[in-house]
């Protein structure tokens, strides 16, 4: 047998071996153990043939094909079937990873700015060069930025009395017709008394909030720590302003059994100013963070004398941006039970902007 014939035979034997292993991987959990044992023996014979180069090639291959077919019938090996099984396995693995290891979340609001961004908008009067049908998706995929505009569907006056907030939207009534404006674009609105059909009501670049990965394993082995940026379930929060079927992300500022106050825009735990980890000094002194944490009218921390006493397994969570109306957090609803935590944020995986990378 010349060199090229040997090379071709070696490649064929490798493919048959791959076929047999694929059959076992696809059916070893439900196949008859006796059939699996026969397949193992047939594989061993082929491996021995590969290594020694001695033996009846056709007989060994036929034996392997017969054993593989017994475990994973050829009739089931249609491309559609194999693709379906592969997709099911991949989805199962992804769901297991999501349930037990790492889970993605997105940040919708600005309560953690500038540490993490929620959805933000920039004033823009009209579509730009890359806001066309061909390039807008690649632009959004790379930068998280998309141009959005809302135009009047009818001519007429703006009915201010009928216009109203509704959930996370603003309803504007123009010429008797309702127009839905996303709440995050509300800051760009410049109201006019009269609109003609087709007029731009509001327009701008919408920048997606940071999308993060949460480590769901850590709190199974370690206690939450002050300074963690953590995701928690809202199911046990008794505040009518907080939805029961969602998750919040805030920074952990108070630990079990502590008495938490805000004095001179500094966090105080059991009478001591909180300065560790260093992020709390940054929040208190860096102008980007608006001069520290704030007491807020209508919350449980309205004045420097007010305090929140945490229970045995409760943690206090606050946004990094505690300006009025920016963070519905522990100042309003108090402590969060440990059992409701999903885990700490570890990585911003999209968009590829200033916060991409490890969460600090």
- The helix-helix angle for 57-71 and 33-52 (nearest 10°) equals 150
Residue 84 lies inside a defined structural domain of this protein: no
Q: How far apart are the C-alpha atoms of 138 and 322, rounded to whole Å?
A: 35
Q: How far apart are the C-alpha atoms of 217 and 100, rounded to whole Å?
A: 7
Amino acid 103: pLDDT: 83
Amino acid 88: pLDDT: 57
Residue 82 lies inside a defined structural domain of this protein: no
Q: Calculate the CA 59 to chain-centre distance.
A: 54
Q: Which of 58, 68, 88, 79 lies closest to 17, judged by CA? A: 68
Is this prediction's pTM over 0.85? no
The CA distances from residue 132 to 54, 128, 135, 268, 351, in Å, are 65, 8, 6, 52, 20
Q: How far apart are the C-alpha atoms of 103 and 115, rounded to whole Å?
A: 20
Domain end call among 14, 49, 76: 76
Write out pLDDT tens, residues 231-278: 999 988 988 888 888 899 999 999 999 999 999 999 999 999 999 999
Are 141 and 258 part of one and the same domain? no
Domain end call among 162, 185, 207: 207
Which string of DSSP letters, residue by residue, matches 17-45?
HHHHHHHHHHHTTTS-HHHHHHHHHHHHH
Residue 63 lies inside a defined structural domain of this protein: yes
Q: Three-class SS of residue 88?
A: helix
* Domain CATH number, residue 238: 2.10.109.10
Query: Which residues touch 90 (CB under 8 Å, ≥6 apart)?
Result: none
Query: Which residues touch 360 (CB under 8 Å, ≥6 apart)?
Result: 115, 279
Please, where are the H alpha helices in the chain? Answer: 3-27, 33-52, 57-71, 79-100, 136-143, 218-221, 279-285, 330-333
Residue found by looking up tokens 């049908």 in the block: 133
Q: How far apart are the C-alpha atoms of 320 and 115, rounded to whole Å?
A: 7
Cβ–Cβ < 8 Å for 259, 270: yes
Q: By residue range, what is the domain housing residue 59?
A: 3-76
Which residues in the chain land under pLDDT 70? Answer: 1-6, 74-101
End-to-end CA distance of the chain: 64
Are 172 and 231 part of one and the same domain? no
Residue found by looking up tokens 């930068």 in the block: 143
Domain end call among 44, 60, 76: 76
Are 167 and 255 part of one and the same domain? no
Residue 108 lies inside a defined structural domain of this protein: no
Alpha-carbon dihedral of residues 293, 294, 295, 300, nearest 10 degrees?
-50
Are 240 and 317 part of one and the same domain? yes
Residue 230 lies inside a defined structural domain of this protein: yes
Domains of the chain: total: 3
Are 343 and 273 part of one and the same domain? yes
Residue 55 lies inside a defined structural domain of this protein: yes
Are 133 and 42 part of one and the same domain? no
Are 326 and 201 part of one and the same domain? no
């Amino acid at each position: 047998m010349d060199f090229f014939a040997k090379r071709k035979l070696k490649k064929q034997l490798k493919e048959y071996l791959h076929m047999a292993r694929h059959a076992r991987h696809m059916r070893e959990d439900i196949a008859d153990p006796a059939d699996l044992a026969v397949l193992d023996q047939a594989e061993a014979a082929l491996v021995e043939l590969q290594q020694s180069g001695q033996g009846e090639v056709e007989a060994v291959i036929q034996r392997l094909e017969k054993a593989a077919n017994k475990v994973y019938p050829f009739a089931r090996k249609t491309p559609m079937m194999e693709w379906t099984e592969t997709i099911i396995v991949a989805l199962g693995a992804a769901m297991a990873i999501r349930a037990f290891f790492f889970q993605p979340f997105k940040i919708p609001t600005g309560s953690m700015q500038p540490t993490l961004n929620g959805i933000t908008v920039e004033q823009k009067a009209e579509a730009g060069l890359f806001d066309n049908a061909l390039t807008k998706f690649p632009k959004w995929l790379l930068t998280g930025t998309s141009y959005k505009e809302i135009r009047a569907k009818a001519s007429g006056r703006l009915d201010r009395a009928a216009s109203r907030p509704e959930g996370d939207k603003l309803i504007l009534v123009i010429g008797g017709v309702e127009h839905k404006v996303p709440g995050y674009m509300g800051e760009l609105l410049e109201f006019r008394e009269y609109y003609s059909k087709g007029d731009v009501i509001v327009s701008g670049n919408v920048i997606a909030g940071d999308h993060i990965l949460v480590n769901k394993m850590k709190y199974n082995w370690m206690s939450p720590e002050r300074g963690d940026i953590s995701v928690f379930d809202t199911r046990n929060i008794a505040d009518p302003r907080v939805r029961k079927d969602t998750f919040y992300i805030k920074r952990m500022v108070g630990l079990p059994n502590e008495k938490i106050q805000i004095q001179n825009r500094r966090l105080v735990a059991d009478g001591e100013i909180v300065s560790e980890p260093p992020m709390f000094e940054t929040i208190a002194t860096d102008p980007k963070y608006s001069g520290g944490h704030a007491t807020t009218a209508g919350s449980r921390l309205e004045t420097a004398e007010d305090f929140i006493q945490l229970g045995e397994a409760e943690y206090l969570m606050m946004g990094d941006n505690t300006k009025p109306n920016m963070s519905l957090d522990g100042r309003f609803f108090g402590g969060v039970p440990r059992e409701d935590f999903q885990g700490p944020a570890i990585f911003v995986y999209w968009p590829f902007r200033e916060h991409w990378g490890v969460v600090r």
